[in-house]
Amino acid sequence: MDFALSEEQELLQQSARDFLARECAPTVVRQTMATPEGYSPALHQKMAALGWTGLVIPEKFGGLGLGLLDLAVLCEELGRAAVPGPFFATAVLGALSLVHARGATAQQKLWLPQIAAGEALATLAVSEGEPCPTPAAIRTRCTSTRSSFRLSGTKLFVPDAHVADLIVTAARTRGRDADGVCLFAVPRDTPGVTVRPLPDVDQTRRPCAVELRDVELPKSARLADEPAGWRALSRVTDAACVTIAADSLGGSQRALEMAVDYARTREQFGRPIGSFQALKHMAAEMVSEIEPARSLVWYAAYAYDHEPRRAGLAAAMAKARLTDIYSRTTNRAVQMHGGIGFTWEHDMQLWFKRALWNRTAFGDAVFHRERVATLSV
Partner 1 sequence: MDLSFTPEQEAFRRQVRAWVKANLPKRDPEAGSLESGDPRRIRMLKAWQRKLYDAGYVAMGWPREYGGQGADVVQQTIVNEELIVARAPGLVGGMGIQMVGPTLIQHGTEEQRRRFLPKILTAEEIWCQGYSEPGSGSDLASLRTRAELVGDEFIINGQKVWTSNAHFADWMFCLVRTDPEAPKHRGISYVLIDMKTPGIAVRPLIQMTGEPGFNEVFFDDVRIPRENLVGELNQGWLVANATLQHERNMLGSTTTTQMMMNGLLRLARTCQRNGRAAADDPVVRQQLADLIIRVETMKYHAYRQLTDAIRKRPPGIGASVNKLVSTELNHDIAAMALDVMGPYGSLGRGAADAHDRGDWPIHFMFSLGLIIGGGTSQIQKNIISERGLGMPR
Binding stretches for partner 1 (CB under 8 A): 1-6, 69, 260, 263-264, 271-272, 274-275, 277, 279-281, 283-285, 287-288, 291-296, 298-299, 302, 306-307, 317, 320-321, 366, 369-370, 372-373, 376-377
> Which residues, in sequence order, are CB contacts of 62 under 8 Å at separation 6+?
54, 112, 113, 116, 117
Greatest alpha-carbon span in the chain: 80
Q: How far is the CB of 269 from partner 1 (least distance, A)?
A: 13
Question: What is the per-residue burial (b if ≥16 Cβ within 10 Å, else e) of 268-303?
Answer: eeeeebbeeeebeebbeebeebbeebbebbbbbbbb
Q: How far is the CB of 67 from partner 1 (least distance, A)?
A: 9
Q: How far is the CB of 35 from partner 1 (least distance, A)?
A: 36
Q: Measured from the CB atom, is 321 or 353 closer to partner 1? A: 321
Q: Measured from the CB atom, is 147 or 376 closer to partner 1? A: 376
Q: Measured from the CB atom, is 195 or 355 closer to partner 1? A: 355
Q: Measured from the CB atom, is 3 or 344 closer to partner 1? A: 3
Question: What is the per-residue burial (b if ≥16 Cβ within 10 Å, else e) of 200-233?
Answer: bebbbbbbbbbebeebebeeebbbbebebbbebb
Q: How far is the CB of 293 from partner 1 (least distance, A)?
A: 6
Q: How far is the CB of 94 from partner 1 (least distance, A)?
A: 26
CB neighbours of residue 325 within 10 Å: 22
Distance CA 208, CA 231 (A): 24
Q: Measured from the CB atom, is 109 or 306 closer to partner 1? A: 306
Instruction: Name residue 323's beta-bridge partners.
Output: none
Q: Measured from the CB atom, is 75 or 142 closer to partner 1? A: 75
Q: How far is the CB of 331 from partner 1 (least distance, A)?
A: 18
Q: How far is the CB of 274 from partner 1 (least distance, A)?
A: 4
Distance CA 57, CA 144 (A): 30
> Which residues, in sequence order, are CB contacts of 71 under 8 Å at separation 6+?
55, 56, 91, 92, 239, 243, 246, 301
Q: Measured from the CB atom, is 35 or 288 closer to partner 1? A: 288
Instruction: State the pairing for strand pair 222-224/207-218.
Output: unpaired
Q: Is 6 helix (H, G, I), strand (E, B) or coil?
A: coil
Q: Measured from the CB atom, is 140 or 253 closer to partner 1? A: 253
Q: How far is the CB of 68 from partner 1 (least distance, A)?
A: 11
Q: Measured from the CB atom, is 69 or 98 closer to partner 1? A: 69
Distance CA 157, CA 202 (A): 13
Q: How far is CA 174 from the centre of its chain?
A: 29
DSSP 248-293: HHHHHHHHHHHHHHHHHH-EETTEEGGGSHHHHHHHHHHHHHHHHH
- Per the CB < 8 A criterion, the answer to whether 143 and 150 are in contact is yes
Q: Measured from the CB atom, is 201 or 284 closer to partner 1? A: 284
Q: Is 210 helix (H, G, I), strand (E, B) or coil?
A: strand
CA 300-6-83 angle, 5° bins = 65
Q: How far is the CB of 176 from partner 1 (least distance, A)?
A: 22
